């Protein structure tokens, strides 16, 4: 320990090599954004309190702006449902199979009508 570190506990010293990445929830990021926008306290104080850098705040502000613009760009009404390609191909094959079966049944019906004298079911 050096002379300047004398009297400080090892816990109060900054951690060496323990730069863990801090995860902020979307709610916390939005709260930080709102506090920065209000301007009630200096931004530097907010950043120190939250343990962030100015680039982190700039990134949060950019994401909020992008998300707001994306949300406002949506047209009113129901959004179109997208179908995955695999599901589309499966439905297409199912439709083709049903069409093939219907064609076979139409042929069978025509044969049965011929056997019953012209297709009149009423007797």
Confidence of residue 114 (pLDDT cuts 50, 70, 90): confident
Going by pLDDT thresholds of 50, 70 and 90, the confidence category of residue 118 is low
- What digits encode the pLDDT tens for the residues 77-103? 777 778 789 999 999 999 999 999 999
pLDDT score for 19: 58
9-56 residue pLDDT tens:
444 445 555 556 678 899 999 999 999 999 888 999 999 999 999 999
The pLDDT score that the predictor gives to residue 8 is 47
Contact 64, 33 (CB under 8 A): yes
Decide: pTM greater than 0.75: no
Report H helices in 1-123: 26-38, 43-50, 54-73, 85-115
Axis crossing angle, helix 54-73 with helix 43-50, rounded to the nearest 10: 100
Contact, 64 vs 30, CB < 8 A?
yes
Close Cβ partners of 22 (under 8 Å, ≥ 6 residues apart): 51
pLDDT score at 119: 53
How many whole angstroms separate alpha carbon 38 and alpha carbon 34? 6
Distance CA 14, CA 30 (A): 28
Q: Within 10 Å of residue 90's Cβ, how many Cβ atoms?
A: 11
């Amino acid at each position: 320990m050096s002379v300047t570190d004398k009297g400080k506990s090892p816990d109060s010293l900054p951690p060496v090599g323990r730069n863990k990445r801090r995860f902020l929830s979307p709610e916390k990021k939005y709260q930080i954004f709102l506090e920065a926008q209000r301007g009630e306290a200096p931004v530097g104080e907010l950043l120190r309190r939250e343990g962030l850098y100015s680039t982190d705040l700039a990134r949060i502000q950019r994401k909020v702006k992008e998300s707001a613009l994306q949300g406002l760009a949506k047209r009113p009404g129901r959004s179109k449902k997208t179908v995955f390609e695999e599901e589309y191909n499966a439905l297409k094959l199912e439709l083709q199979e049903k069409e093939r079966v219907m064609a076979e049944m139409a042929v069978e019906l025509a044969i049965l009508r011929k056997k019953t004298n012209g297709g009149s079911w009423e007797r």
